[in-house]
């Protein structure tokens, strides 16, 4: 069956611009996670949803980052006033429910010029 999909696969933007990154979880998965992976490092937790609500957003680095999941399926990670330091691969994962095995998507590579 279809895995986690993320769009776009690559995004180039200019410093100060606004970007949205989309994640389509595996059908039927109620939990969804966002991570950020900088070059040469392991993924870093950002936020996770159980259903429509953010169960924990303690990993979001600052208030420029925001994520939504209005219908409990697709999620969008939103970054305002992008900075060069936001350049990274943004990974999305989903699981059947919270605490279950996380299945990762291929990521969106964001480059802020």
Partner 1 sequence: AQSVTQPDIHITVSEGASLELRCNYSYGATPYLFWYVQSPGQGLQLLLKYFSGDTLVQGIKGFEAEFKRSQSSFNLRKPSVHWSDAAEYFCAVGADGAGNMLTFGGGTRLMVKP
Chain positions 54 to 73 lying near partner 1, rule: CB under 8 A, are 55-56, 58-59
Using DSSP's 3-state secondary structure scheme, residue 58 falls into coil
> Minimum CB separation from partner 1 for residue 98, in Å?
6
Question: Which of 27, 19, 21 is closest to 6 using CA atoms?
Answer: 21
Using DSSP's 3-state secondary structure scheme, residue 62 falls into coil
Residue 30 lies near partner 1 (rule: CB under 8 A): no
Could you tell me the CA-to-CA distances from 96 to 8, 21, 43, 81, 108 in Å, in that order? 24, 22, 21, 34, 22
Q: Which is nearer to partner 1, 45 or 66 (CB)?
A: 45
Residue 21 lies near partner 1 (rule: CB under 8 A): no
Total binding residues toward partner 1, as defined by CB under 8 A: 29
Residue 43 lies near partner 1 (rule: CB under 8 A): yes
């Amino acid at each position: 069956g279809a895995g986690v999909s993320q769009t776009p696969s690559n995004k180039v933007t200019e410093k100060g611009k606004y970007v949205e990154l989309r994640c389509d979880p595996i059908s039927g998965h109620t939990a969804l996670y966002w991570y950020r992976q900088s070059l040469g490092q392991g993924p870093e937790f950002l936020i996770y949803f159980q259903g429509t609500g953010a169960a924990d957003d303690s990993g979001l680095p600052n208030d420029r980052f925001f994520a939504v999941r209005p219908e409990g399926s697709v999620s969008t990670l939103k970054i305002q006033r992008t900075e060069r330091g936001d350049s990274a691969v943004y990974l999305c994962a989903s699981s059947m429910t919270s605490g279950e095995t996380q299945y990762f998507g291929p990521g969106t590579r964001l480059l802020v010029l």
